[in-house]
Amino acid sequence: MSHHAVSPEFIASCRSALERITAGRIPLDEAEAALTRAAEEDDFVASLSRQGVQLAERAPRQGWALAALAHQVAQQQGAPLRQARAAYALGVTLNRCEHFDEALTTLEQARVLFEKQACALDVVRCDWQRGVALRFVGRPAEAVNLLERTVAALHEAGQEAETARAERDLAIAYNLLERFDDADTLIVAARAFFERASQPVEVALCDLVIGSRLRQLTRYQDALHVLNNAIQVFQSVGRPIEQAKALFMVALIHIACQTYEEALTCLQKAKRLFRSADLSLRIARCNLAQGRVLWRLGKLREARAQMEKARAWFVQSSMLRDVADCLLNLGNVAYVEGNYNLAEAQYKQARCYYDQVGLGAHVALCDRNLGLIHCQRGQFSAALDLLHRAADSLEKQGLHVWVADCHRDLAELYLDLRQPETALLHLERAKRAYHQEDLPLGEALCEVWKAHLASRRGDFVRARQALEQARQVAAATGSARYVALCDRLSGNLLLEQGQVSEARQRYQAARDHFAAAGATADEATCRLGLGRTHVRCGELDRAEAMLQAVLHTTGGSLPELDWQAYAELGHIARSQGHRRRALTYYQSAIEALRTVRLTLPEARLGGGFVASRGLVYDAGVRLALELEDFARALEIAEESRAQVLARTLRSTVWPEAEDPYVDELRSQEAELRAAIQMLRQRLIASSEDHVRPLSKSVKDVAALLTRLRAHLLEHQRVLQQLHTAAGGWLEAIEPFRWERFRTIAGERLPAGWSALIYHWLDGQLVIFHIDNQGVRTWVREPGRVERAALAMCTSPAPERRALIFQGRLYGRALPSPIGLRYRRLLYRLLIPEAIAANLSPDQLLLIVPHGCLHHLPFQALESERGFLAQQAVVGYIPSLGSLERLLLRCGSDCRKQREHNARALLVGIDIFRQPKPPLRWALIEVDRVARIYGVQSDRLRNEEATTEILRSWAESGLLNHYATLHLVSHAYLDAASGALSGIALWDDDLTFVEIGRLRLEPAVVVLSACQSGLGEINPGDEIVSLPYAFLTAGAQTVIASLWHVDDESTADLMAALHFHLHAGRSPAVALARTQRQAIQRGYTPYEWGAFVATGVP
């Protein structure tokens, strides 16, 4: 259309058309000015298209409106070439507006028209713009194909400037496919061309790509220098969109450097510029980046909101790569919250999307994060595999910093696996990698982890040195966040060493920084430390204010901090005489601890967990007792005991069936166990060798003892690793509630049941009595004589057992009945008179021991009314919570289950292949019991009773065919390591670890063996014993002995016991009747009192 053909009326109609195209949603000042200029040109459509493309560089929507108008006019005129060029211009502006699907359609139309007009170079340009669009719609491989053809064609046509621009776009596509070397070569060449041509804007556009690559290589200072130069160029020439892109990249660098304030400032500027251009894609990416900053600052709710907003836009726009980025970061938020199931699902989904678009490095990042989840769940074999796989993949791609991050994660994992030497090796590898990449902050972080390792070993001097070194590096690099982190950790060490004023200074400095940076979690941790310093100095009002600020800051999202703050507040309130308020605080602390427990694997719930937190439970129990809230005191006491067993009984998740790491640990454990056994046999042989000179024997014994100690330590280490790695992810359990337990017990226990629960509290003994009526409590303070009686009666030493329960010392009868006096003394201490007076022979009395009381035979305690075994049916349970799980697990009527399946497997060994003394009554006992069951019994005798057969029967499910398992053999409690305790089979020992791997249906297990009921008592009243191992494996009740028993008398007892079991009586009733018969026949407590029934009574 010529200049003379453009009339004022036509220009007015074009303005109206612009209003319709934009629906009045964008300003059109520059577009209308361009329209006026185009009207003065000879070719109105060509001029309008050209000006639309130019305007789109700084105002994409207005440029697109002009190009759309030109396209409409060209359509009306009908000239094919003009239509093609207008369509091409419209496609270019659509790309600038980030409407990539529409751009692809329009550019394809233009391409077809150019092909018909034989405009080869224009066809190439259409392919170029299509390649740009394909980069954003998750088709980078197709984009690379088109752009490679474009570069070749433009180069052949001698279009040098366009070739360089296309090379720049191709470099971006190469980066998307992680072809970094190809991308680096192209972008360097393109930048050099534009520099020679003195085109600063084009150079700055190349610098955007280079800055992004430098950021990826973690060369942050170089990247910042390049990007800041580009920002200055874009500002000077009025290119706000490119300026915003550069600001966005600078923000990502600040996120990586943990300078979050600067990151937020850059993101806000970039977002404002993108919003003015109405670029929704860029705004969504800013939202995601803001979410990352908020996540790092501990503002998890706000972080998730920003990320979800971004994800919604990307899903709507079908931008798979960006959706994956959102999922990866949302998974990070869920991980910090401890919601590992959600985090795992999001990581896996992100991994799938990254795999679809061919991003191997990001796939490896997802593998790394999934490895961290497996680590938190205690599935360490899978964690090791994923972290090593991620490190190898990233190493091949030359991403050494990410590799170093993986080694840092591996160091933390090996610390959890109690392998500090291996952890240190990985920290050194990570530190070297950070050093090679000139990342001093990474090196500083490794020093922080070394400090953590040293403090766990108790080497506070080395820990302080490592932290000081890390702090100096952080200060030299200007990283205030890392300086504050080192100050906070130093404050912890100083406070632990009693240097309160120095600790307060460090905490204060760290808190000021974290507060200014908005780092919520770190600020709360510093406030907690400051609160503790105020407590140490007696400044209770200031301490309370500081601790309340901790809770306000965390908002309940950080339970590990919350429980500590609540506990400190409880101590303060109690010291001020506010007992009700203190109890409320302690209960809140315990609630927070329960949340912490939900995120921990089995291995972390034992001694370490309770040892560092047990004072909270004790304080809660004592305060509830003072307030006479006995049910509350009982509930708190239950929260502190046997949690591993309770969770194991509830769990339906077993260790992985095929796990090379766990299998290797099991192999090491078996080898060490065999070596320990061999060394012990050699020690026995050396002590009995009277031929060699005494000096030589002493030297040999000393050498053997040294080796034995080393093997025992190594066995304990491997066993801890195995316990940690194979512990699995146990199900969460509800907090113990007295009313719920009373309902379940009332439905599934015999009428008239009651229980005595014992709890040691700072040297005092708290006795709870519960029944269907309620809870009663007594607090006893054992005197010197009672303590001596407890020590004698709970000692596993054979001579003490014989003295107390048989009245004999080293085989000789004593004239003084010391055992009777002690048994009566403990009866009065442990069985309140109000309870004893109302006992009846048919009443079920459950005993829940605590501490040393686990080794006391309550049924053998005596009063003027006789033995406790005669006064009630006595049953043992580890805790009320574990009994609740057992009752729920075995169903509504356990007795009916036993009647339905009355089969018994009887295992007996009288002569062992391994060096153990023979049991001449073992097979006689098995035969006598077999006659009771008749055809419903099967026997494994001597060489038939091997560990391999029992394992294979367990794996195949054959053991599940039996309701009763009877084992006649030697059992032993290993004084050096409770987990080495076991029961002997013909060829080898079945240890605590191996029993826990068996799979048993609810069944009665009878261990007719010496000391089979003893166990190692750990903090938190976690017992390592054979009965607990069988309960974990699936048994409902285990009958075992607390001391050495005589073969012959035991055979009589077992025959009587199985007579009552076969008659359908419950295990506790059957044992009670058996023991009463033995009393009537004149047996001493030593002969019948050793056996106890643990589990479902």
pLDDT in tens, 487-517: 988 998 888 888 999 999 999 999 988 888 7
pLDDT of residue 694: 43
Q: How far apart are CA 151 and CA 147, in angstroms?
A: 6
Q: What is the pLDDT of residues 634-654, one digit of tens each?
A: 999 888 775 656 555 544 333
pLDDT of residue 657: 43
Does position 529 have pLDDT exceeding 60, yes or no?
yes
Q: How far apart are CA 786 and CA 534, in angstroms?
A: 41
Would you list the DSSP string of 269-328?
Answer: HHHHHHHHTT-HHHHHHHHHHHHHHHHHTT-HHHHHHHHHHHHHHHHHTT-HHHHHHHHH
Q: What is the pLDDT of residues 640-698, one digit of tens each?
A: 775 656 555 544 333 444 455 566 767 777 788 778 777 766 766 665 544 444 444 55
- As a three-state string, the secondary structure of 115-173 is HHCCCHHHHHHHHHHHHHHHHHCCCHHHHHHHHHHHHHHHHHCCCHHHHHHHHHHHHHH
Q: Once rounded to an integer, what is the mean pLDDT over residues 281-305?
A: 88
pLDDT of residue 759: 92
* Separation in Å, CA 374 to CA 207, 385, 649, 749, 906: 40, 10, 22, 39, 41
Average pLDDT, the chain: 82
Ordered alpha helix ranges (H), 397-479: 400-416, 420-436, 440-456, 460-476
Task: Show the CA angle centred on residue 411, arms to residues 409 and 414, nearest 5°.
Answer: 110
* Separation in Å, CA 804 to CA 796, 807, 815, 1074: 11, 6, 13, 21
Find out whether 381 and 662 touch, Cβ atoms under 8 Å.
Answer: yes
Would you list the DSSP string of 701-740?
Answer: HHHHHHHHHHHHHHHHHHHHHHHHHHS--PPP-PPP-HHH
The more confidently predicted of residues 60 and 21 is 60
Which of helix, strand or coil describes residue 876?
strand
Query: Percent of the chain beyond pLDDT 90?
Result: 30
Burial 620-650 (b: 16+ CB within 10 A, else e): bbbbbbeeebbbbbbbbbbbbbbbbbbbbbb
Q: 181: burial class by Cβ within 10 Å (0-12, 13-18, 19+)?
A: exposed
CATH for the stretch 199-277:
1.25.40.10
Does position 593 have pLDDT exceeding 50, yes or no?
yes
Does position 429 have pLDDT exceeding 60, yes or no?
yes
- Cβ-based neighbours of 1019, under 8 Å, separated by 6 or more: 606, 607, 608, 610, 611, 614
Q: Once rounded to an integer, what is the mean pLDDT over residues 613-626?
A: 88
Q: How far apart are CA 683 and CA 678, in angstroms?
A: 9
Does position 994 have pLDDT exceeding 50, yes or no?
yes
- The CATH class that applies to domain 120-198 reads mainly alpha
Name beta bridge partners: 1025: 1015
Q: What is the pLDDT of residues 185-203, one digit of tens each?
A: 999 999 999 999 999 999 9
Name beta bridge partners: 755: 770, 846
* Separation in Å, CA 371 to CA 40, 377, 391, 713: 66, 10, 11, 29
Options 1.25.40, 3.30.70, 1.10.287, 1.20.930; CATH of 1-118: 1.25.40
- Cβ-based neighbours of 324, under 8 Å, separated by 6 or more: 349, 350, 353, 354, 357, 359, 362
Find out whether 18 and 28 touch, Cβ atoms under 8 Å.
Answer: yes
pLDDT of residue 603: 39
The more confidently predicted of residues 1031 and 597 is 1031
pLDDT of residue 9: 63
Q: 498 — alpha (psi -120 to 50), left (phi > 0) or beta?
A: left
- Cβ-based neighbours of 232, under 8 Å, separated by 6 or more: none
- Cβ-based neighbours of 928, under 8 Å, separated by 6 or more: 1051, 1054, 1055
Q: Once rounded to an integer, what is the mean pLDDT over residues 1029-1036?
A: 84
pLDDT of residue 22: 60
Options 3.40.50.2300, 3.40.50.1460, 3.60.10.10, 3.30.420.40; CATH of 880-1095: 3.40.50.1460
Q: What is the pLDDT of residues 464-480, one digit of tens each?
A: 888 888 888 888 877 77
Q: Which of 348-352, 528-532, 831-835 has the lowest mean pLDDT?
A: 348-352
Domains 120-198 and 880-1095 share a fold: no
83: pLDDT confidence band, cut at 50, 70 and 90? confident
Does position 401 have pLDDT exceeding 60, yes or no?
yes
Where do the structural domains in the chain lie, given as residue ranges? 1-118, 120-198, 199-277, 660-726, 738-876, 880-1095
